Amino acid sequence: MHAEDMAEEFPVVGLNSDAWEAARLLAEHRLPGLVVTDPDGHPHSILPASQVVRFLVPSYVQDDPSLAGVLDESMADRVADKLGGKTVRDVIPHEAPELAVVNFDDTIVEVAAIMARLRCPLAAVIKDRQLVGVITASRLLQLALVHH
Amino acid sequence: MHAEDMAEEFPVVGLNSDAWEAARLLAEHRLPGLVVTDPDGHPHSILPASQVVRFLVPSYVQDDPSLAGVLDESMADRVADKLGGKTVRDVIPHEAPELAVVNFDDTIVEVAAIMARLRCPLAAVIKDRQLVGVITASRLLQLALVHH
């Protein structure tokens, strides 16, 4: 089996996509992260949900965490304001985790080796430099255990 | 809304649980990681699926990645051998990501703040020092966006 056959569809956003739309995708699909592509459609990085969660926190709480407990829930309504007008590029962490990228004809061992080395929870599968799908670490385990 | 109300059930393994069972849980529930508890039931750390994937890779490939491509799929059958007799404690990375731990009565802002600070994709919710559930980053976004 090759990477191409292990890959699944996965929500993808562009570097220039709307950050609010990215947050909505993460929430709707209950994903720990999204694959981000550059304007040419090549895999670029991962946008972790834990990074977007940062925008739920008002700046004055980031400055003084003791204020978090006294806020009421209505502040959640302000998320859209904080993300509004921002692109995915604006919210990606500078030290974004390196995205594992594998070729469509890589074997399960090759995919596992690069994913483990980069400690990356998913691998982008490319063919002719274009993203053709994503393999998550749990998908890899599923395939390996089924074979057993 | 308090952390207790946001929390969901989530597969949990003990430090002394069987590593093979942990791999099976990750695969079956298609999870990016599991919450690990210590023998007293307190949240301890996270076992990332990308760490378990390491055990799909034979040692001689770790030593020489160029060998990965020439292996056939049958090696996947050896995963059980590599994980057999190992506990979760044996396979957790030494530099395991710090697990976010929140109190049952923390607010959504408090949970978001600690999750963002630790860059942790999930938070263990405790009440009387016992784990009562887990809040993932995407769950938090879902709650915040629904409120909008």
Please tell me which residue of chain B has the smallest CA distance to A96.
B119
At B70 the pLDDT is 63
* CA–CA distance, B6 with B9 (Å, rounded to integer): 10
A contacts of B54 (beta carbons < 8 Å): 112, 116
Residues in chain B: 148
Confidence of residue B71 (pLDDT cuts 50, 70, 90): low
For B56, the closest of A30, A48, A144 (CB atoms) is A144
- Evaluate whether B38 touches B44 at the Cβ level (below 8 Å): yes
Whether residues B50 and A120 touch (CB distance < 8 A) is answered with: yes
* CA–CA distance, A28 with B36 (Å, rounded to integer): 26
Q: What is the 3-state secondary structure (H, E, C) of chain A?
A: CEHHHHCECCCEEECCCEHHHHHHHHHHCCCCEEEEECCCCCEEEEEEHHHHHHHHCCHHHHHCHHHHHHCCHHHHHHHHHHHCCCEHHHHCCCCCCCCEEEECCCEHHHHHHHHHHHCCCEEEEEECCEEEEEEEHHHHHHHHHHHC
CATH superfamily of A3-146: CBS-domain (3.10.580.10)
Q: How many CB atoms lie within 10 A of CB B6?
A: 23
- Evaluate whether B99 touches B124 at the Cβ level (below 8 Å): yes
At B73 the pLDDT is 52
Residue B95 touches chain A, beta carbons under 8 Å: no
Q: Mutating which of A9, A50, A78, A98 best tests the B interface, going by the most B Cβ atoms within 10 A?
A: A50
**pLDDT tens track for B74-83:** 555 667 778 8
* CA–CA distance, A35 with A11 (Å, rounded to integer): 7
Whether residues B115 and A51 touch (CB distance < 8 A) is answered with: no
Q: How many CB atoms lie within 10 A of CB A90?
A: 11
Whether residues A109 and B136 touch (CB distance < 8 A) is answered with: no
B contacts of A115 (beta carbons < 8 Å): 50, 53
At B94 the pLDDT is 82
**Mean per-residue pLDDT of chain B:** 86
B contacts of A116 (beta carbons < 8 Å): 50-51, 53-54, 56-57
Residues in chain A: 148
**pLDDT tens track for B2-26:** 999 999 988 899 999 999 999 999 9
Widest CA span of chain A, in angstroms? 54
Q: What is the ipTM of this complex?
A: 0.84
At B148 the pLDDT is 45
Pick left, alpha or beta for residue B85 (phi over 0 → left; psi -120 to 50 → alpha; otherwise beta).
left
Residue B124 has pLDDT above 80, yes or no: yes
**pLDDT tens track for B31-45:** 989 999 999 989 999
How many A-B residue pairs are in contact by the CB < 8 A criterion? 191
For B23, the closest of A27, A69, A141 (CB atoms) is A141
**Phi, then psi, of B107 in degrees rounded to 5:** -90, 170
Cα separations (Å) of A21 from A17, A42, B123? 7, 20, 24
For chain A, 148 residues long, the average pLDDT of each consecutive 10-residue run is 89 94 92 92 91 84 71 59 88 84 92 90 92 93 76
At B146 the pLDDT is 73
Q: What is the pTM of this model?
A: 0.84
Domain locations in chain B as residue ranges? 3-146
At A126 the pLDDT is 95
Residue B58 has pLDDT above 70, yes or no: yes
Q: Which of residues 33-52 of A touch B (CB under 8 A)?
A: 33, 48-52
Whether residues A50 and B115 touch (CB distance < 8 A) is answered with: yes
What's the token pair of residue A123? 């691998």
A contacts of B57 (beta carbons < 8 Å): 109, 112-113, 116
Please tell me which residue of chain A has the smallest CA distance to B58.
A109
What's the token pair of residue A48? 């972790």
